Each structure stands twice: as structure tokens, then as C-alpha cells.
Structure 1
């Protein structure tokens, strides 16, 4: 009887979590539209400017990045049109995604023992690592791995907000049995933060490939099924192992042989990606300048 009651309670808890997804503020529509324009061969940068010029926060971030020491411009850029021309499409995508994601990734996850800075740094670290892996592998659209990796832990935010004492139960299981959080989540809830993140991104109408990569990134049976999922999984493993925004958990993450085989990465290629990822992580952290205190 107690076991049945416990299962019923877990199911009801998980059901409430799914119900609350509709309460999470939706991903900014202006960013979704701007990303679509950047992918539209018929659209122009003038179309992008016309859309973004009315969003003060995004315009300010674009101008701030353009005027950073990274670009070393002889004079300050004060208008969006010039900034967009100087940045180029890939950098614009990144600034849009980072600006739009900041509200979701700038609060501490107490249930997971993560500060806001750690959460944000891990998201940035995964994103730049995924982009570098995609480039090394010749993936056609490096912006997709970047986006998937930046948003891969959204499910943790939802669980941290709504699970309360059940999340403490998960955390105790992690400490007692030295499990990764995703395994403990499955044991307690019957789902993990990757499943929750998938559902949230699906509701926000993100491309199916991004949703699938977020869903698969902890599941060895699933993340070897397609390149984007494999890149997402490997970028997360590398970011954790390299200490990008996390601590004390790296020993639980190893690169499975079939994951490296799926991507066709040699040891030399992997070492090169790791070195470039660390450089890109520190550069992005300084350049973006949005990491919460």
C-alpha cells in the first residue's frame, strides 16, 4: 500500500510539473522572429534591424558587444544598423540567444546546489563547446548546437521552482549513492530535467532537432541516434569535465566509446576541441559580460 501511494504521489508531482510549464514566460517572440529572418535567404539585414530596433535591451546588448575591446574599433558605434553590419550573422545569433536566455539562467538553483553564476557559466561553456565540436565535425548549422547547448538545462529551472521537498529527496539520493542528478531524477520522479526541458522547448516552438537534442543529452541509448544529440551530449560532458560553471561532479561523466565513435572524433581532434573550447569559454564569458554575480 505504501509503495502504491508513493508511486501515486510521484506521478501527481510530475503531473503538476508538466502543468506548470504553461506558466513559464514564453521565449521572446522578437528573438524567434529575428532568428527566422537570419535563416531566411530572402530576408535582409535591414529586415532584422527593423524588427530589433524596438527592443531596447537587445539593441543595448548588440551595441555593447560591438563596442567592446574585443573588436578594437577606432570609434564608438551608436546605431543598430552599423553594429549589425560589423557583427555578422553568427555573432548576431549568439547575442540574440544569450540576451533572450539570461532571464531564465540568472537565478540560483538551490535544489541543485548551483549559483546563478555557475548555471550561466555552464550554459555558456556548453554552447561554445557545442559550436566548436560542430565546426570540427563539419556540421552544417553550428547555430543549432549552440542554441541547444545554451538551453539544455532549462528543465532544471522548472524542477527547482516547483518540486520543493521532492528535489531535496533527489539531492539526498545523489549524495548517498553518488549518482548523477539525472539518474536520481528518474528514480524519484520517473523523468528527468531533460524530458522537462524538451516539453518546454516544444511548447515554445523550437525546431524539433533542438528539442530532441535537449531530450537526449543524458541518455546513452538516444544521444547516439543523431549528430545534434551526440554533439549536445559530448559538449555537456566536456563542459562538466572542464569545470565550466560546475564543481565536484566531473568524475561521474565519461565519454562513452560509442559516442566518440558516432561522431568520428579522433583523440587528436578531441584534444584540439578541448583546447579551443576553453579559450572560447573565457573569451565568451568576458565578451558577453552578462554573467550574473
Structure 2
């Protein structure tokens, strides 16, 4: 007999759907970036309609990420220099970095830890996109950036209760974090995160990439496979050399071979190369995404 969840699933989904909406400009930009036929001019015009967003984007674009050599003075310049994918991630960063930078004791995360991992995943997704031997849509970096946003919703909705509930369920059933969430909530942080993304009006590819980032099978979409792989890599990228955590998450995630096959990547050579490239890029550009 299956034990019912400890919380009301409908209440939790309602909480996810009620998260503060994104400005129309951001949702529109996400739709444009997901359209392979959209041009730079339309993307730049959309961002330029929001004065506050434009100022924040230019501040981030002119961080040490560009080495301080050439100042970006217009949204169009930012689009050309950064690329639509990175630009969308930076725009989203301006809206979610504060919430994702908080400590999440229920998940054993110190202040800033979740945000660093999320940025690392976004950067890894960009590198995966450049290395994959199959086309990967530009919005994959944004899906990777938001892949764990559901953790924030769960923690903020339940507060201190979530710590006791997750700990109790884990001790009782001896299962991992994802299964513990299913026991307690009847769904996972991936389900909650995808519900938020859908409520925000983000493209279906981003919604699916967030929802499926812990799935590992050959029927996944290219975006979902890339986000799942970027999630695994984010632990490698942000954890110190020799840290137990660097290999622990990959083991929890299971066999990543299906993800590599979907992306037409070599499991040994490409994995280590992408992690190394992502780590170097993360150390160089992480301040772009700072709040």
C-alpha cells in the first residue's frame, strides 16, 4: 500500500503558480531566443523596452566577464557580444539571483551555493551546446540556470517545516533526496520548478528541460538531456578538487550514458573536456551573474 504524501499536492502546485511573475519583456525575450529564425534586432528592441532591465543587463555585461577591455554600451552590442542564449540567462539572473542566493538548510546549502551551482550548470549547458554533435537549442542555458528553482519554492513555502519533513522521510525510508521529495510532497523540486516556468510563460522546451533534468533515458529531448548533464557537471565545476561531492551527484543521477548518446558525445573524453572548459569559463565569468 502506497503511503500518501505528507502535504497537499494541490496546495503546493498553487504555491508554485503564484510565484511572482516575470515581466512581460523577459517572457517575450525567452520566446524570441527559442525561435531559431529570430534576429538580433528584434531581441535587442525587446530588451530595450524595459529601461531597468537594460541598465541591469549592461552592468552585468560590463563586469570582469569581458576582461574590462571593451565597454558594452548598447543592448544590441550585448546581444552580439554575448549571444542570445547568454543574454537571456543574464536577464533571468537579474530576476531570480536574489531568491536563489539564499541558504537552503533543508538541502544542506549555504548562502550562494545553489546560485553558484545554477550558474555553473548554465555555463556547462552552453559548452555542451557548442560541443554536441547534434543541434541544441539556444534556450538550454536558461533551462539549466533555472533547473533547481523548485527547491527555492519548496523551502520558502514550508519554511523550517521542510527540514524536519525531509529528514524524517529520508531516515524512515532510506532513500535519496529526490525520492524523499516524492514521499513528502508527492512530487519533486523538478516538478515544482517546471510549474513555475510554465506559469511564467517560458517556452515549452525550458519547462520540459527543468521538469526532466533528473530523468535518464533515451527518449529525452535534446534540451532535457543537456540540462540533466549540465546539472551533473555543475557539482564537478563548483566543488573543490578531491571533494566527495564531485562524484557523488553523478552516482546519484545514475547512468549518464543515455544523455551522452542523445547529445552524440563521448562519455569519457567529452565529459572531462566539457567539465574542464566549463570550470575555466565559470571562474572567468561567474561575476556576470552576481546580484
TM-score by structure 2 length? 0.81
Aligned to 1:99: 94
Aligned to 2:157: 162
Q: 1:1-293 counterparts in 2 under 5 A? A: 7=4, 10=6, 12-38=7-33, 39=35, 41=37, 45=41, 47-53=42-48, 55-71=50-66, 76=71, 78-80=73-75, 83-84=78-79, 86-164=81-159, 165-174=161-170, 179-221=175-217, 224-244=219-239, 249=245, 250-254=247-251, 256=255, 257-266=257-266, 267-286=268-287, 288=288, 290=290
Q: Is the 8 A contact 1:125 1:244 kept in 2?
A: no
Q: Is the 8 A contact 2:120 2:238 kept in 1?
A: no
Q: Is the 8 A contact 1:230 1:263 kept in 2?
A: yes
Which deviations, in whole Å up to 9, do the C-alpha atoms of 1:37-56 show, x marking residues without a partner? 454746552x5444434534
Displacement after TM superposition at 1:186 (Å): 1.3
Query: Which range is displaced more, 142-151 or 164-173?
Result: 164-173
Q: Larger C-alpha radius of gyration, 1 or 2?
A: 1
Aligned counterparts of 2:77 and 2:224: Cα–Cα separation in 1 = 36
Aligned counterparts of 1:40 and 1:262: Cα–Cα separation in 2 = 20
Structure possessing the higher relative contact order (Cα contacts under 8 Å, 6 or more residues apart): 2
TM-score by structure 1 length? 0.81
Q: Is the 8 A contact 1:145 1:232 kept in 2?
A: yes
Q: Which runs of 5+ in 1 are unaligned?
A: none
Supply the RMSD in Å over aligned alpha carbons: 3.1
SS of 2:125's partner is helix
Displacement after TM superposition at 1:160 (Å): 0.5
SS of 1:104's partner is helix
How many residues align? The count is: 282
Q: Which runs of 5+ in 2 are unaligned?
A: none
